[in-house]
Chain A
Amino acid sequence: MSRHRMPSRHRAALVAATAIAGFGLAAAAQAETLTIGLAAEATSMDPHFHNLTPNNQIAQHIFDNLINQDEAQRLVPALATEWAPIDDLTWEFKLREGVAFHDGTPFSADDIVCTFERAPNVPNSPSGYGTYIRGKTVEKVDDYTIHIKTENPYPLMATDVSTIPIISAAHCDATTEDYNSGAATFGTGPYKFVQYTPGDRIVLERNDDYWGDIPEFEEVVLRPITSDPSRVAALLAGDVDMINIVPTADLETLESRSEVALHTGVSNRVIYMHIDHWREQSPHLTAKDGSAIDNPLRDQRVRLAISKAIDREAIRDRVMEGQSIPAGQLLPEGFFGVSPNLEAEAYDPDGAKALLAEAGYPDGFRMVAHGPNDRYTNDARILEAIAQMLTRVGIETSIDTMTNSVFFSRASSGAEGEPEFSFILVGWGAGSGEASSPLRSLLATHDPDAGMGASNRGRYSNPEMDAILMEALGTVDDARRDQLLAEATELAIGDLGIIPIHYQVNTWATRAGLTYVPRTDEWTLAMTVTGE
């Protein structure tokens, strides 16, 4: 489409106009359209309907949160300018004054009250915001001050609040359909809603009255192009200016082309092996002759042997085309609650064999490893490589991969409500940007009543770790909590509660001359795209 090739011509015209008029033109005032090809489509324009990356990244354009997360998921002021606990059970938020919604209504504390009422109660929502709002009571102190109260000390208040898009109280009763049609889609964000054609495009227009940095591009068109080769081709053909999730197989070709620029950054997603810790005999583990054996994975030495047998650097170089960082814990360095003492386990096949012999398996055993084949970057190929590496030290491993809709159902509750597999490849992206999220879901003792260990598909349980984690979850002091989370991580990783493989690295591609700051949460945001 010629429209998408226009920017350079347009810019030339602008530069000429500027020169003639003799005044400086801020980059922010460029009249350009930015077209982005996205790998996954948002399912709704309702910011509270489906808490899912493709939806959240669209909502972030139109709506602000009280607190936003920057590209490294650090908390930055948005509609709240200041926040702090004023006693053990109350957090005070000072709200930004002089902000207006896109329909002109001014922003005030009433909008927060309305958002907290609506967000957890959207009808038919497949995954809403109850998780972040439950147990919190919002009180309006004055128009620009609110208090959020909890029943117990709650250190993650700011993190939780940073996930919730703020809507206007004028549209508190609006339905999901009203948001999809645009009738209620008024936020305070850097872009205004223009058009939503499901399956085809979302069109946004710059909010020139935005309280923060005015984005560079006047119009943004977001197009879902789910097929990987088509998305790359659309960029090469100049039909889109930018794509996300560049397939690793195409990186080499794209790197060699001068009309394309690549933007690469580590994500908050760790790829790891989850291990059956609780069954005396595990369904997919047998002796080499096929006879039943007691679950060898319950022996810490066997788990360590597996970790040592995995050559993470080889996986990075040969499977991931360099798009991964070998992992030694739950989140890459720089995140809150990460331990400075943990490194990725070094490749040591001889050490692995010695450990297996010491644990009473000198000849190894037989195992089936399971995983998804369409969920994470190169997931099935990673599992294949791991199976070969384990077979080399004597653990004869075959693999069984499946589409993710089948995999997660079976891996979570396939065996009469209990996890079905013995040894699985999974990934975890810490949406909260700190270590309590994976610790609580993956490694805390599985306890539905307490809401702990919801994704603990290996049923790892260490009461000592649980106790430290619980203490951390009740500690408001940041420095102390950081230390407690690191301690809990060290315990769980020392036990090999899970075996971390790598942190996923993501790549965005743009036409040459554009810059994008990669985000750890894998979001694609038009407002942080800048020209030369």
Chain B
Amino acid sequence: MAVFILRRLMQAVLVVLAMACLVFFGVYLVGDPVWMFVSPDMNQADIAAVTASLGLDRPIWEQFARFLWSALQGDLGRSFVFGEPALKLILSRMPATLELATAALVMAIVLGIPLGLYAGLNPERAGSRTIMAGSIVGFSLPNFWVGIMLIMVFAVILGWLPSTGRGETATYFGITSSLFTLDGLRHIILPAFNLALTKIALVIRLTRAGTMEAIHQDYIKFARAKGLSQRRIVLVHLLKNIMIPIITVIGLEFGTLVAFAVVTETVFAWPGMGKLLIEAIQRLDRPVIVAYLMIIVLLFVVINLLVDICYSLLDPRVRLGEVSR
């Protein structure tokens, strides 16, 4: 297994490098960032001085080589517009995004699994049809529009919840999060629901499909014949068996929740990494864009690796060493 993990890590390094390369040159092709920074009153000499101080006057190959050399020493460069190290900026925004993604994930599980079970157990009922139709809506409505509608209904018209922003934070066990305060929870409900919507729909569909398949299998029939209560059959026998694929998908979806909460964070003015990324793209703040995507690649590689390791622990038939051969 050690060999396997080592090999995967080596692959990860290559992927991260390729990503850095693509993004670095991609941003270069978009345009010259210096025009996004300089103030209108500057003359040509001032503009040239800024270009030189940010290293943008060097040939792109040299800029890339310098970037790689610093990256090897753990320095992903300084944000052009914030003047702070890109890595520090991104990490300082990460807790907000992690708590948003976690809240969304919890919503997806807590709402998705019971609704999916109900729909799977009673496929012909009107309630089930409503749930399934709702899940299609959850998949197909644009995130941005849903976010605005949530704000209009729950914040502007009903006035139940705050419209935007992150609430007060508190620190327990060394973790600072807005999930620990009432104000924080009130603030996170709408953005987390907005972010969770497609995931809820996904979990509903997975749970329903798994339930409908498992319900006709012999072990369920046997359990019924044994005279077990419906409650015990569903919650113990059925749920346990259909959970494996659901957990796998949820684990992988968590990565996308963290990495691409961009739209939700923008609509709800949530001070997370996604908002940082979209603003960096608009301003061509190359160090932040490159560092962000490198971190995300790393995140996905690690999640995949953990999932693989979990499989081998759960199911002895999967041997990691042989997978890559």
Contacts of B81 in A (CB 8 A): 43, 50, 126
Contact across chains for A230 and B164 when beta carbons are under 8 A apart = yes
Q: Which residues of B contact A452 (CB under 8 A)?
A: 43
Q: Is B62 part of the contact surface with A, judged by Cβ < 8 Å?
A: no
Interface residues of B in 150-167 (CB under 8 A from A): 151-152, 155-156, 159, 162-167
Interfacial residues of chain B within 70-114, with CB under 8 A of chain A in the complex? 78, 80-84, 89, 92-93, 96
A455 in contact with B40 (CB, 8 Å): yes
Given A122-B83, A431-B39, A454-B47: 5 more A-B contacts, CB < 8 Å: A132-B41, A223-B269, A230-B269, A408-B35, A454-B43
Cβ distance B218 to chain A, nearest Cβ, rounded Å: 54
User: Chain A 428-442, CB within 8 Å of chain B: the 1/0 string?
Assistant: 110110000100010
15 contacts between A and B (CB under 8 A): A1-B162, A126-B37, A128-B50, A130-B49, A180-B84, A200-B96, A224-B269, A230-B151, A234-B163, A236-B156, A237-B155, A405-B282, A405-B284, A431-B40, A437-B41
Contact A233 to B41, CB < 8 A, known contacts A131-B46, A199-B93, A199-B275: no
B283, A405: Cβ atoms closer than 8 Å: yes
* Chain B contacts for A130, CB-based, 8 A: 46, 49
A residues with a Cβ closer than 8 A to B are 1, 37, 41, 43-44, 46, 49-52, 122-128, 130-132, 176-177, 180, 197-201, 223-227, 229-230, 233-234, 236-239, 374, 403-406, 408-410, 412-413, 428-429, 431-432, 437, 441, 448, 451-452, 454-455
A347 to B144, CA, bound (A): 40
Residue from B33, B38, B152, B282 having most chain A Cβ neighbours under 10 A: B38
Q: Are A1 and B266 in contact (CB under 8 A)?
A: no
**7 closest Cβ pairs, A-B complex:** A409-B31, A199-B271, A451-B43, A126-B37, A200-B271, A448-B44, A408-B35
Q: Give Cα A51–Cα B37 distance, bound, in whole angstroms.
A: 9
B297 interface residue (CB < 8 Å to A): no
Contact A237 B43 (CB under 8 A): no
B53: Cβ under 8 A from any A Cβ: yes
Is B57 engaged at the interface, CB distance under 8 Å to the other chain? Answer: no
CA distance A197 to B55 in the complex (A): 28
Q: From known contacts A127-B37, A233-B163, infer whether A227 and B269 are also in contact, taking CB-CB under 8 Å.
A: yes
Asked if residues B31 and A441 are in contact (CB atoms below 8 Å), the reply is: no
Nearest CB on A from B110, distance (A): 25
Question: Cβ of B164: which chain A residues have Cβ within 8 Å of it?
Answer: 37, 223, 225, 230, 233-234, 239
Please give the residue numbers on chain B whose beta carbons come within 8 Å of chain A beta carbons, in ascending order.
Answer: 30-33, 35-47, 49-50, 53-54, 78, 80-84, 89, 92-93, 96, 147-148, 151-152, 155-156, 159, 162-167, 183, 186-187, 266-269, 271-272, 275-276, 279, 282-284
Contact A46 B83 (CB under 8 A): yes
A60 CB to nearest chain B CB (Å): 15
Contact A126 B80 (CB under 8 A): yes
The residue of chain A having its C-beta at the shortest distance from the C-beta of B155 within the complex is: A237
CA gap between A238 and B155 in the complex, in Å: 9
Q: How far is the CB of B309 from chain A (nearest CB, A)?
A: 34
Q: How far is the CA of A451 from the CA of B186 in the complex (A)?
A: 54
* Contact partners of A230 in chain B: CB under 8 A: 147-148, 151, 163-164, 266-269
Query: B35–A412 contact, CB under 8 A?
Result: yes
Contact A432–B41 (Cβ < 8 Å): yes
When C-beta atoms are compared, the residue in chain B nearest to A431 turns out to be B41
Closest B residue to A221 using CB positions: B165
Task: Select which of A43, A227, A437, A441 is within 8 A of B82 by beta carbon.
Answer: A43
The answer to whether B279 touches A41, judged by C-beta atoms less than 8 angstroms apart, is: yes
Shortest Cβ distance from B275 into A: residue: A199
Q: How far is the CB of A103 from chain B (nearest CB, A)?
A: 23
On chain A, the residues within 8 Å of B167 by CB distance are 1
Chain A residue nearest to B159 (CB atoms) is: A237
Assembled-state Cα–Cα distance A130/B93 (Å): 32
Contact A405 B148 (CB under 8 A): no
Question: Which of B42, B84, B96 makes the CB contact (< 8 A) with A177?
Answer: B84
CB < 8 Å neighbour of B151 from A37, A233, A448:
A233
Q: Tell me which residues across on chain A come within 8 A of B159, comparing CB atoms.
A: 237-238
Q: Which residue of B lies closest to A238 (CB)?
A: B159
Residues of B with C-beta under 8 A to A374: 282
Contact residues in B for A177 (Cβ distance below 8 Å)? 84
